[in-house]
Amino acid sequence: MLEAFGNGGMPFTGKNRASLFLISLFFMWSSLFSYSCTANSLSQGQLVRDGETMVSRSGKIELGFFRTENSSLRYVGIWYRKISFKTCVWVANRDSPVSDESGVLTISSDGNLMVLDGDHRLVWSSGINSTSVPTNSTAVLTDAGNLVLLAKADADTASADGHVSNAYWQSFEHPTDTFLPGMRVRVNSAAGENHAFRSWRSLNDPSPGNYSMGIDPRLPPQIVIWGQSGREWRSGHWNGVVFTGMPNMIGNFQYGFRLSTPEEDGSMYFTYTPSNRSNLLMFRVLWNGMGEELGWDETNNESTVLQKQPAKECDVYNKCGDFAICNEMGSPKCSCMEGFIPKSPDQWKRGNWSMGCTWKTRLQCGNNSSISVGDGGRMDRFLKLDGLKLPDFADYFSATIGDECEVKCLENCSCKAYAFVRGTWCMMWSKNLIDVEHFTEGGMTLQIRLANSEPGTESKISNLRMIVCAFVGVFVSGITVFLLWRFKDNLKGFLFDDIVKSEELCLDLSGPDGLASDAEQVGGPHIPVFDFSSIEAATNVFSEENKLGLGGFGPVYKGKLLGGQEIAVKRLSRKSSQGVEEFKNEVMVIARLQHRNLVRLLGFCIQGEDKMLVYEYMPNRSLDYFIFDPAKRAQLNWKKRLEIIEGIARGILYLHRDSRLRIIHRDLKVSNILLDEEMNPKISDFGMARIFGGNENEASTNRVVGT
């Protein structure tokens, strides 16, 4: 933590006198030959005095000395310059302030950043080993709010996007109370380490407070706010896209958060990138234990609190105790899960829910030594609960189907519940289920373990169920037989069509009378049909790590086939506006085309309602990725831009004139121009394309398409 690098402002004694003497000499030398810093960088010999500031290149971020209300103590901090009041996002000397306005920020003779007071005493230092940092180091304040210490020759390479890889020291790796876009939040599940953000002690005291916020090192990861007595709030588990305990996050941040793959030492990093990088955002833990997301409204020139956590009663950690569910819309808010009763009925009625609930009937598994684990497991059952924030303290393992979770849980008598996160993992709970909340929208599904029978009631209920089921079965069967007989001619085609819909589509595209025949007529290749399991294996079951982005009609994933070939899989979203006709059109159009500036289709896959196109992989993504990003735009010099324009023109010329079929794309835009390894452009996304006859010059369409 930052406080470890300072000495609390106390004068040096004993063996440190030599260091004090050197610092004093350096201070005297710099006062004679230095000048104040007004730019975005600070070099040796320069000072930032109290009242002076460093300003980032764009003018968005500012660094300098500040004081809080009703205090004369001075701190070095970073804040957003546009915001009318100083909302500090980082403080250097938070537990060793300067007592007056005599302090300076400078770079020491050993290359470290340091804050000195008026008596030339060291108040704070970046604390880097002198052998690790060059003596000609430079500090740069980036537009992301990161104060970076690096070699002078590398000063111009400091990225505005966030973390700087070649830095000797950077404030993003030593945060105080605020998480900024571009920060890398480190967590190591193997070592149980996390780098937490520490709150201020009070509204006007930046020294370390009683609350911290960070990523729980347990897996699956989640954001947690800790207080003096333990957890105060948690976000719910990360499912690869969002934190599942924050339903409102889905619309706002679905594609902003990212979790890196584990490194050799088990470390992972969380990052957040806003969809609009010009927006000012910060996430911070307040002195009172609240987590706050703050944004800047440029229209009204004011800051806006976008959300706070905990925001309601049910957000408070473990509000209702063991095996209970908190429902903000309920009255009372706490209720025991089905199959459970309050541990203390009297306290429960009084509104004291902290003791929680317990089973009505003990589980058979593990409750009788004469019953084996397998037999006991089969004597228990699972109850499905939907729309929940899943309990805390889960164990997990990889799984592809929910049945794997149920089998594992039944085999383990200590397993009290499980949940399956589709395509990624299975979560199991061996401890009591705590901190569960019911959401009106969103949420996850939890399967809780219950005894298969409850004394005195199960036999009556079972008999009643049997009678009702038998009656309903006979009645429904009679009605069904009558309707089948009455409408047999009309139903025959309807039912059969629904069953074989995907098979017919495959035949339509690849059968002897479909695409294969068309391809032969125009000299095109036969397009292979991929097996769904091979696509799942290639994309790691459509994992978030393999996700390249979101296209107009669904997500696109990177994959690698068994032979080592890299592919891009466009998976049609079920909510997409693209239907079967557009899918067929895209397959049949691209199959007939072969040109160096058109993307190459390797095949397609249809599994039920899932429709996928398999393309060659383009490592440089799409053109919009470069031209709309100020940093990456510089990679496109004028020569390369001309080559890209010429390549697009050649592709269009081929479509309009040189191919055996005249094709109008009708949806040409920069996001549909892909770039290969050598930055050669390739036109993609032919779902809206229209094929003309050789002599046709115009045609009619039934709907508006294009961009």
Same domain for 89 and 225, yes or no, is no
Looking at the fold, whether 265 and 333 belong to one and the same domain comes out as no
**Pair 509, 655 in one domain:** yes
Per-residue 3-state assignment (H helix, E strand, C coil) for 472-502? HHHHHHHHHHHHHHHCHHHHHHHHHHHHCHH
Residue 639's CATH number: 1.10.510.10
How many domains does one find in the chain? 5
Q: Which of 267, 283, 311 is the last residue of a domain?
A: 311
What gap in Å lies between CA 209 and CA 199, rounded to an integer? 5
Give the whole-angstrom CA distance, residue 707 versus residue 690.
15
8 Å CB contact between 607 and 531: no
Question: How far is it, in rounded angstroms, from Cα 294 to Cα 89?
Answer: 11
DSSP 572-639: PPTT-S--HHHHHHHHHHHHT---TTBPPEEEEEEETTEEEEEEE--TT-BTHHHHT-HHHHTT--HH
| CA–CA separation, 103 and 65 (whole Å) | 8
Rounded CA-CA distance 544/56 in Å is 34
- The phi and psi torsions of 671 (rounded to 5 degrees) equal -70, -15
Domain co-membership, 479 together with 509: no
Q: Are 605 and 481 found together in one domain? A: no
Q: Which domain holds residue 578?
A: 503-692
Kind of pairing between the strands at 436-438 and 555-560: unpaired
CA dihedral 154, 155, 160, 165 (to 10 degrees): 40
Radius of gyration of the chain (CA): 32
Residues 132, 222 within the same domain: no
In this predicted structure, what is the pLDDT of residue 33? 38
Helix residue ranges, H only, 241-344: 249-253
| 608 occurs within a structural domain | yes
Please state, in angstroms and rounded to a whole number, the distance separating the CA atoms of residues 694 and 691. Answer: 9
Q: Is residue 648 classed as helix, strand or coil in its secondary structure?
A: helix
Q: What is the CATH number of the domain that holds 108?
A: 2.90.10.10
| Element spanning 65, H or E | strand 61-66
Tell whether 317 is covered by a domain: no
Domain shared by 225 and 199, yes or no = yes
Judge whether 699 lies within some domain.
no
pLDDT profile of the chain (707 residues), mean per 10: 32 43 46 52 91 91 92 94 80 95 92 92 89 80 92 74 81 93 80 79 94 87 91 88 75 59 73 68 91 77 80 93 94 93 92 92 65 53 92 86 86 92 80 94 89 52 52 63 54 37 45 40 55 84 84 80 82 61 71 81 81 88 84 85 93 81 79 89 77 53 47
Query: Does the annotation count 667 as an active-site position?
Result: yes
* Dist CA 367 CA 451 (whole Å): 10
Residue pointed to by tokens 């793959």 = 261
Together in a domain, 333 and 436: yes
Per-residue pLDDT, 562: 72
What's 372's domain CATH number?
3.50.4.10
Assigned domain for 377 exists:
yes
Q: Are residues 258 and 391 in the same domain?
A: no
Q: What is the DSSP string of 232-271?
A: EEE---B-SSSBTT-TTHHHHHTTTEEEPPP-TTSEEEEE
Q: 141 and 266, same structural domain?
A: no
467, 484, 499 - which closes a domain: 499
**Final residue belonging to a domain, choices 440, 470, 499:** 499
Q: How far is CA 14 from the centre of its chain?
A: 51
Q: Write down the catalytic residue from 508, 518, 610, 667.
A: 667
246 and 340 housed in the same domain: no
pTM for this one?
0.60
Please indicate, yes or no, if residue 704 is contained in any of the structural domains: no
244 occurs within a structural domain? yes
* Residue 515 located in a structural domain: yes
How many angstroms separate the CA atoms of 452 and 382, rounded? Answer: 9
Are 390 and 339 part of one and the same domain?
yes
**How far apart (Å, rounded) are the C-alpha atoms in residues 53 and 72?**
18
Do the domain assignments include residue 319? no
